């Protein structure tokens, strides 16, 4: 082992720090995936997913194996998990079609790329500022938003000092019969686990 000094780049994440704050960015990683999937010069989108988008499973996915859908979703998932909670819902929704995708799904995934194109220079990075270390959390669930199996989607985010430290968006395991039941399942089925929060912060 050897000491390489203060970290400034690791696994596609750039670290910037001074006496008061630490900033995590993935601008270079975003530029790389934009180029890899032919969206380097694309028109930016204002949201990661089109409003009212309803995707269904492809009926003949074997005919479109040449579409690099799974590679794109994998690249976006790493970005969503690492530093970009704002695309977590869209990527989670698109990932359920990894084995039944068509060109329509691929275009929907490219909308996320277009959104990243327009926001890579904006202040959407993770910035941890010294002081004001208050732990806060927010959670919500919709009702039967999935057109395929009518399951609801759960989402949550925890912030520490105003900056996200843990976040997730995923479908519930069972079908809720009403909004109240979806919220109840969200809070009772372990969607938000204590293990998602660092032990010292949870105390």
Domain positions in the chain are: 7-130, 133-203
The per-residue pLDDT of the chain, averaged, comes to: 80
pLDDT of residue 69: 93
Q: Where are the beta strands (DSSP E) in the chain?
A: 9-10, 13-17, 21-25, 126-129, 135-141, 153-160, 163-171
Q: Helix (H, G, I), strand (E, B), or coil: what is residue 171? A: strand
Predicted confidence (pLDDT) per residue in 106-127, tens digit: 999 999 999 999 988 775 567 7
Predicted confidence (pLDDT) per residue in 138-147, tens digit: 877 776 666 6
Separation CA 170–CA 87 (nearest Å) = 13
Predicted confidence band at 44 (pLDDT cuts at 50, 70, 90)?
A: very high
DSSP 98-135: TTS--HHHHHHHHHHHHHHHHHTTSS-SEEEESS---E
Predicted confidence (pLDDT) per residue in 148-186, tens digit: 766 777 888 888 877 888 888 877 677 766 666 666 666
pLDDT of residue 59: 62
Q: Helix (H, G, I), strand (E, B), or coil: what is residue 152? A: coil
């Amino acid at each position: 082992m050897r000491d390489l000094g203060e970290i400034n780049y690791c696994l596609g994440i750039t670290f910037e720090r001074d006496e008061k704050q630490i900033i995590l960015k993935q601008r270079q990683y975003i530029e790389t995936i934009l180029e890899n999937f032919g969206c380097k010069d694309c028109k930016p989108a204002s949201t990661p997913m089109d409003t009212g988008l309803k995707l269904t499973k492809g009926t003949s996915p074997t005919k479109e194996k040449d579409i690099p859908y799974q590679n794109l979703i994998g690249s976006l998932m790493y970005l969503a998990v690492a530093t970009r909670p704002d695309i977590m819902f869209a990527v989670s929704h698109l990932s359920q079609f990894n084995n039944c995708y068509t060109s329509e799904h691929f275009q929907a995934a490219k909308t996320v790329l277009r959104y990243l194109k327009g926001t890579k220079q904006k202040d959407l990075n993770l910035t941890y500022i010294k002081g004001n270390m208050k732990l806060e959390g927010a959670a919500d669930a919709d009702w039967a938003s999935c057109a395929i199996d009518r399951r609801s989607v759960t989402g949550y985010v925890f912030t520490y000092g105003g900056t996200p430290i843990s976040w997730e968006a995923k479908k519930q395991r069972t079908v809720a019969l009403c909004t109240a039941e979806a919220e109840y399942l969200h809070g009772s089925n372990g969607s938000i686990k204590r293990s998602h929060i660092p032990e010292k912060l949870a105390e």
